[in-house]
Structure 1
Amino acid sequence: KLAEVKREQGNDLYSQQKYDEAVRCYTEAIELDGCNVAYVNNRSACYMMLGNYRAALDDCRLALQKDPRNAKSLLREVKCHVALGDLGSAKRSLQLIRELDAQGFAQARLHKTEIARLLKTVEILEHFLGEADKAYEAQDYEKVIYCMDRVLQHAVSCTRCEVLKAESLALLKKLTGAREIADNIMRAEPTNADAVYVRGLCFYYEDNIEKAIQHFQQVLRLAPDHPKASVAYKRARLLKSKKDEGNEAFNGGKYEEAFNIYTSALEVDPRNNLANSKLYFNRATVCSKLNKLNQTVEDCTTAISLNEDYVKAYMRRAKTYMDLEMYEEAVRDYECIFRKDQTRENKRLLDQAKLALKKSKCKDYYKVLGIPKDATVDDIKKAYRKRALLHHPDRHSNASEDMKREQEKKFKELGEAYNILSDPKKRMRYDEGRDLDEMEGCSSGPNPHVFRTFFFETPGFSFSTNANSFQHNSGFVGFPGGFNFQFR
């Protein structure tokens, strides 16, 4: 008859692995002869090969309605339950088969080996599911993923297990894998609240808080009592609110208030690395405004530890290192910045830091004279005159040997500084960091004529021989024997 013809056609197509076409043939056979359990079982087998275990399970149930003691249908039902992760139903179906065997049904006895294998499989899956639950409670998400991978080898269509794996991946910030699983589930089940929740988590840990809030709201519309989404929604809103408040305070120049708000925001969710990285950077920016430079560095360092690609945090830390005159650290940061983003400006900043480092290894002659870097020639002369009088060894002739050596050293440094900074060409080379090691003054003593020029060849400069004068007898150039010098 025609139903048998359709069954034969379906069998041929099944053997050729053309399962979709085979399903159509078996469906036609069932429509022609709805009482034949074999047709339904065959279509169920096709659905299983297509990975459509829910449709396969529906056919198993249809077959069992017609023949409740059909061991083959029961066995296939067990496999569907296992594939879908419904271990309780799988065990009940296995129990029915064992009861049939005990009652002497030959068909059940034929499948003893497979029944034993399936019982063992269910036992193993129950073990891994139990371990996964304990690991989740302990926040050991790597172990949860391991357990889910073991379960999904058999429960290949268990959405619950896929979602748990995806959630664990998201909590470990492995967002690409988490999103891929969630998207696959949503293609098949667009209203799967758990999958929408995982997508929301992905946006949340990407610091796309607006999108995350939208997803958590969608979950709560689909499942108003979803506990995880409820907690995540409140946390995301609080984090956004705190960050917005901090930004508003900062933009309004209320830096202490902004500092406190950002600090409070950092307590909302220690697990959100990207969001917290930005909060630490924001707080570092506030600290720079408050001149808390060491904490600026500390907060930038924490921001970078949470997001190693955070160029703005590197930039802020590098600038702060420059302000702190920690030039080696600044060079390291600017080198890292330039590797990540090779712009002209970043190259300029790197070269500037390298120059500062190079100059720092030579004496800072501006600091020696106590003058700013834009000091005029007159400023340089005045500063030298004042400090030379202060540190000339004759002024400290009665001091201890250690003090004499210290003052002598400072006096020589003053001569070096004046020698370089009073000469426009040398000063320009010094400021540009060119040939520092070769420049007179970086490695040698002062010009012996500097002091003589200032104090013996300067018109109007006077000497005194009163009781408060100092007798020169040290042999330093500039104080010929017999002269007394009045320090003022």
Structure 2
Amino acid sequence: MSDTSMDIDTPPVSAEEIKNQANQQYKDGNYREAVELYSKAIELSPKTPTYYSNRAAALMMLSKYKEAASDCRVATELDPENTKAYARGGKCHLYLGNLEAATRQYEIALQKEPNNPQFQKEHNTLLHVKHYLQQVEMYMKNNQWGLARNSLDRAISFVDSSQTPYKWRLWEGECALGQKNYSEASRIASNIVRMDTKNPDGVYLRARVLYSQGDNANAVAHCLEALRCDPDFTQARTLLKKARAIEAQKESGNAAFKANNLQEAYDAYTAALAMDEENSAMNAKLYSNRAAVLQKLKQFEDALKDCDKALELDPDFIKVYSRRAACYMELEQYEEAVRDYKKLTESDGSNREYINLLRKAELEYKKSLRKDYYKVLELSKSATDSEIKKAYRKLALQYHPDKNAGDDKAEARFKEIGEAYTILSDPQKKARFDSGADMDGGMGGMGGGFDSGGVDINDVFTQMFGMGGMGGMGGQQGFPGGGFPGGGGGGRRSGFGQGGHSFHFG
């Protein structure tokens, strides 16, 4: 028996039926499926404006505003009375940052339906955005970056923040740069470049961020890339020249410093500093480098000034704290050195070098709170035994009371000189003093007395000069005529002053 069954053709689905299915998908929140179905309806009936307008609504829910705006344009061309398409087109252009196009679309919609509350509400939103963006441009022109960013944020709050218009993103980056928030500026610029690697404005913004961070080499590379995208990009060309010039001077200074041509290095860094006074990050590096030159020249006061300038420009420039602390140590400003070394250990608590430097500074600071016997004898801390003896001989002769009769200050100075010599001439006492240990009698404290162990300064003087006090200096070379005024006879122990009383320092 032959198969006589007949094929039954399925009736075709109409474009209108597909549109109805798409509408249901839209209501259910399935926007991608809705877009696909509207597209099928358009294939079947490409001259039906409603299908384009509806697809635009679904595309807007997917944040595809450019495609949606195109559908709105087609819908209004097919049906100039389609007010929904005009309003939707206005919203798309607003979200794309095309405020003039958005204004035209809303004006047409309101001309046709002046009492439509939704159109009025959306048009008012547009007016608010335009107002805030006018503020942004005004504040940016006046370098009021915080106010500019605040107005920009207000404008962004009216649109889809996940699809912020490109120009507005550039403004975000400029505001962050103006506020010297380089990490935020870098984040924004990097995101913009990832969005469109061939847009010269985004690449140039990234170049500016790198330049502001003191990274001239990468700034140059980005300027070149921006110029490849747009050979007539004047701003990129200007920044390129400036970054190259500063980098060349800096590298010249670095090379001179390594070659120990210190004046040449100083001049190169100074020239680089004059090229752009607004580039805080780069100038902080240049001041730090110049401070290193001054430090090597032992011009510590000037080196400190450059360190201060570097930290004023970049308070987080940790390396400068180390350099400044070293200068403080050379100038014996130990309390300030301790403060900077603490800053370093706070930044890196595991760094043994920082810890050791802090301990050394703290020890020197502790030692500085007591009397400095090296300074009393006008010596450096590296003085040898012979230098200590020579200094004592000179100062003891200069300030001996017999030479300075009635001068209480000279008498006190003489006592201090003898005290210093008693400590520094004794190897054990000197070692303890150098180590920072407290001396007997509280010498290590602030304002404590000094116990000379019953030593008579006359005895110290006698041991040094090999005679019976200052009164016995009649035959000493260089002191003819029987001693200083007020001195005693050659064989008698001198009194300090004219009263003939023996002066003991206890």
Among residues 119, 125, 130, which one is paired with 1:126 in the alignment? 130
Is it true that 1:280 corresponds to 2:287 in the alignment? yes
Shift of 1:313: 0.9
Among residues 86, 91, 97, which one is paired with 2:103 in the alignment? 91
Name the stretch that deviates more: 72-81 or 186-195.
186-195
Residue in structure 2 matched with residue 66 of structure 1 by the alignment:
78
Name the stretch that deviates more: 461-470 or 126-135.
461-470
- Within a 5 Å distance, the mapping from 1:51-200 to structure 2 comes to 51-99=63-111, 101=112, 108=113, 112-156=116-160, 157-200=164-207
Partners of 1:285 and 1:21 in 2: how far apart? Answer: 67
Partners of 1:374 and 1:295 in 2: how far apart? Answer: 25
The one-letter amino acid paired with 1:469 is G
Could you tell me the TM-score, scaled by structure 2's length?
0.84
Greater fraction helix: 1
Shift of 1:49: 0.7
List runs of 5+ in structure 2 lacking aligned partners. Answer: 1-12, 501-506
- Within a 5 Å distance, the mapping from 1:193-208 to structure 2 comes to 193-208=200-215
- 1:249 and 1:381, CA in 2 relative to 1: closer, same or farther beyond 3 A? closer
Is the CA contact 1:82–1:154 (under 8 Å) kept in the aligned structure 2? no
Partners of 1:463 and 1:186 in 2: how far apart? Answer: 89
RMSD over aligned CA atoms reads: 2.8
Name the stretch that deviates more: 439-448 or 310-319.
439-448
Is the CA contact 2:214–2:282 (under 8 Å) kept in the aligned structure 1? yes
Superposed CA deviations along residues 205-261 of structure 1, whole A, max 9, x for unmatched, are 222221121112211221233343233222222221221222233233332332232
Shift of 1:377: 4.1
Any idea what SS the aligned residue of 1:393 has? coil
Among residues 265, 276, 281, which one is paired with 1:269 in the alignment? 276
- 1:392 and 1:259, CA in 2 relative to 1: closer, same or farther beyond 3 A? same
Among residues 307, 316, 325, which one is paired with 1:309 in the alignment? 316
Residue in structure 2 matched with residue 104 of structure 1 by the alignment:
none
Among residues 425, 428, 445, which one is paired with 1:425 in the alignment? 428
Superposed CA deviations along residues 379-408 of structure 1, whole A, max 9, x for unmatched, are 4444333432222111122xxx4xx11111
Shift of 1:164: 1.4
Is the CA contact 2:441–2:450 (under 8 Å) kept in the aligned structure 1? no
- 1:26 and 1:185, CA in 2 relative to 1: closer, same or farther beyond 3 A? farther
Partners of 1:218 and 1:456 in 2: how far apart? Answer: 82
Shift of 1:445: 6.4
Is the CA contact 2:143–2:178 (under 8 Å) kept in the aligned structure 1? no
How many residues are aligned here? Answer: 468
Shift of 1:48: 0.6
Among residues 391, 404, 415, which one is paired with 1:383 in the alignment? 391
- Within a 5 Å distance, the mapping from 1:242-257 to structure 2 comes to 242-257=249-264
Shift of 1:459: 5.7
Shift of 1:187: 4.0
List runs of 5+ in structure 1 lacking aligned partners. Answer: 102-107, 484-488
The one-letter amino acid paired with 2:223 is F
Shift of 1:329: 1.1
Name the stretch that deviates more: 406-415 or 305-314.
305-314
Among residues 297, 306, 316, which one is paired with 1:290 in the alignment? 297
Is it true that 1:356 corresponds to 2:364 in the alignment? yes
Is the CA contact 1:300–1:316 (under 8 Å) kept in the aligned structure 2? yes
The one-letter amino acid paired with 2:418 is G
- 1:220 and 1:463, CA in 2 relative to 1: closer, same or farther beyond 3 A? closer
Partners of 1:174 and 1:379 in 2: how far apart? Answer: 56
- 1:381 and 1:186, CA in 2 relative to 1: closer, same or farther beyond 3 A? closer
Partners of 1:47 and 1:444 in 2: how far apart? Answer: 91
Partners of 1:329 and 1:289 in 2: how far apart? Answer: 20
Partners of 2:487 and 2:354 in 1: how far apart? Answer: 55
Partners of 2:150 and 2:109 in 1: how far apart? Answer: 32
Is the CA contact 2:200–2:229 (under 8 Å) kept in the aligned structure 1? yes
Partners of 1:272 and 1:61 in 2: how far apart? Answer: 47
Partners of 1:298 and 1:459 in 2: how far apart? Answer: 51
Residue in structure 1 matched with residue 419 of structure 2 by the alignment:
416
Partners of 1:440 and 1:293 in 2: how far apart? Answer: 30
Residue in structure 2 matched with residue 443 of structure 1 by the alignment:
449
Superposed CA deviations along residues 244-295 of structure 1, whole A, max 9, x for unmatched, are 2222332333323322322222232333222111111011112223332211
Partners of 1:126 and 1:219 in 2: how far apart? Answer: 29
Is the CA contact 2:370–2:443 (under 8 Å) kept in the aligned structure 1? no
Among residues 481, 484, 487, which one is paired with 1:467 in the alignment? 481
Is it true that 1:39 corresponds to 2:51 in the alignment? yes
Is the CA contact 1:456–1:478 (under 8 Å) kept in the aligned structure 2? no
- 1:91 and 1:27, CA in 2 relative to 1: closer, same or farther beyond 3 A? same
Shift of 1:349: 1.4
Is the CA contact 1:85–1:155 (under 8 Å) kept in the aligned structure 2? no
